[in-house]
Amino acid sequence: MSSRERILGRVRRALADVPRDDTPYERAVPRDYLREHGERSAEETVELLAENLADYRAIVHRCADGELPKLLARLMAERGSRSVLVPPGLPPHWIAAVDATRVPDRAGSTPHELDRVDSVITGCAVAIAETGTIVLDGGPDQGRRRITLVPDHHICVVRVPGQVVSSVPQALGRLDPARPLTWISGPSATSDIELDRVEGVHGPRTLEVVLVD
C-alpha cells in the first residue's frame, strides 16, 4: 500500500464518527465578520494607509501624477543610489528624471548581480489601508519577486485611490492566487532578540512608498 493510500485510509477511519450528510462548506462557516472596519471615504482610506505604513517604519510620500518623476529622482539622489532595478512594464516616464544606471529585470541575472544594485522601483497590485500593506503580484510594473528583495532600497508606487482597499478581505477579492504574491508591511523586521523590534534583517532595510494621486 502506498503512503498516500495509507494516510487517506487512516483519515477515513478516523472520521468514522462524522455523519455522511454533514453540513456543506457553504453553510459550515459563518461569515458574519466585517468586510471592513469602520466607514471611511476614499481619501480617509488613503490617509489610513499612509498612517499605518509609517507606523511600521515605511517612509511615505504623496504627490500628484505630474510630480512623480521629480520626486523619484530626488529620492534616488538623496540616497546616493547609482543603479536602479527596473521591471519591464514600469511606465518609462516615472524614472525619466532619475540619474542612475538602469538594470533590467532579467531571468538570467544571478542573485549576486542583484545584490550589487542600489535600489528598485516598482508599482503594486493593491494596497491595504487597515494593515498598512502593499501587495505585489509579479505584474509587468512589479517584476520578479526577487528584485524587491535583494536590493537594500525599495520604492513602491501606489496609485491612489484606485489601488487602495480598506481591508484584507477586500484585497483577497482583487488578487489572483495563480500569480506569485508578496505582501509587504513595512521593511524587513525581527523581534527575535528579547522581543525588541529591529528593522532590516534580510529584505530591503528601507521601504519608501509613494502615493500618487
Partner 1 sequence: MSGTYLGMPAFPEAARAAVRDRTLRGNLRHATHTIRAKRAKAVTEVSDWAELREAGRRIKDHTLRHLDRYLVRVEEAVTAAGGTVHWAADADEANRIVTALVEETGESEVVKVKSMATQEIGLNEALEAAGIRAYETDLAELIVQLGKDRPSHILVPAIHRNRGEIRDIFRAEMSEWGRPAPEGLTDTPAELAEAARLHLREKFLRAKVGVSGANFVVAETGTLVVVESEGNGRMCLTLPETLISVVGIEKIVPTWRDLEVFLQTLPRSSTAERMNPYTSMWTGTTDEDGPRTFHLVLLDNGRTDTLADEVGRQALRCIRCSACLNVCPVYERAGGHAYGSVYPGPIGAILSPQLRGTGSDIDASLPYASSLCGACYEVCPVAIDIPEVLVHLRERVVQGGPATRRGNKVLLKPAKGHAAERAAMRAAQWAFAHPGVLRTGQRLASRTRRFHPRTLPGPGRAWTGSRDLPAVPAEPFRDWWQRTRGGEDGTK
Question: Among residue numbers 53 through 112, which ones bind partner 1 (CB under 8 A)?
Answer: 56, 107, 110-112
Pick 24 or 64: Cβ nearer partner 1: 24
168, 130 Cβ separation under 8 angstroms? yes
Out of 21, 33, 64, 162, name the contact with partner 1 by CB under 8 A.
33
Contacts of 32 (CB under 8 A, 6+ apart): none
HSE-CB for 199 with a 13 A CA cutoff: 15
Q: Which of residues 2-21 bind partner 1 (CB under 8 A)?
A: 2-4, 6-15, 17-18
* Cβ at position 60, least distance to partner 1 in Å: 15
Contact yes or no for 59/208 (Cβ under 8 A): yes
Q: Which is nearer to partner 1, 64 or 193 (CB)?
A: 193
Select 19 or 162, whichever has its Cβ closest to partner 1.
19
Burial of 26 (C-beta count, 10 Å sphere; 0-12/13-18/19+): exposed
Identify whether the C-beta of residue 131 lies closer than 8 Å to the C-beta of residue 53. no
Tell me the closest approach of the beta carbon of residue 80 to partner 1, in angstroms. 20
Instruction: For residue 139, state whether it binds partner 1 (rule: CB under 8 A).
Output: no
User: Which of these ranges, 61-69, 83-91, 96-104, 164-172, lies near partner 1 under the rule CB under 8 A?
Assistant: 164-172
Where in 165-184 is the site for partner 1 (CB under 8 A)?
168-169, 172-173, 177-184
E-strand stretches of 108-176: 119-122, 126-128, 133-136, 153-159, 164-165
Applying CB under 8 A, the site for partner 1 has a residue count of 74
